[in-house]
Amino acid sequence: MSINVGHAAPHFSLQNQNDNTFNLQEHIGKQKLVLYFYPRNESAICTTDVCEFRDHFAEYTKAGAMVIGINDGTIESHKSFAQNHHLPFTLLSDPDNKVLKLFGVKNTWFGKGRETFIIGLDGLIAYKFRIYWKSKAHPKRALEFLRK
């Protein structure tokens, strides 16, 4: 089952790259949330995308948004990935793909899906974007939406 624009964001808690608990409910209403589901740390397209989020991080912040990357990588792999690429945002470890499934992120025949969701201050999905192979599309489209 997929969630769509207008649906309430499913609540979840996951560990971040520093082994701290991130609880979605604690952030709703404080700022917009950009959730970027991506298949793998250090893969070519995913690294290009997260570095694009990094390079425009100030613009996301100016738009009142918090960027959050999510995949099934370990806490240690997220910490290494964040350090290697100087990522200023949160990476969440979803080892059993529970949150991926809650959001209805679709896998492809060759791997985990890549989807971006923006959660508004009201806790509703305000934006949803899915494309697999085109690098920089997720950060670019999310920022365009936030600027509207």
Determine the distance from the C-alpha atom of residue 21 to the mean position of all C-alpha atoms in its chain, rounded to a whole number: 16
Q: Where are the alpha helices (DSSP H) in the chain?
A: 44-55, 57-62, 75-84, 98-102, 137-147
How far is residue 121's CA from residue 115's CA, in Å, rounded to a whole number? Answer: 20
Q: What is the DSSP letter of 25?
A: G
Placement of tokens 């990357």 in the chain = 69
CB 46 within 8 A of CB 85: no
**If you search the block for the tokens 């793998």, which residue do you land on?**
40
Spell out the residues 6+ positions from residue 110 whose beta carbon is closer than 8 angstroms to its own: none
Two tokens at 4? 């769509």
Q: Which residues are catalytic?
A: 46
| Nearest residue to 132 via CA among 55, 46, 51 | 46
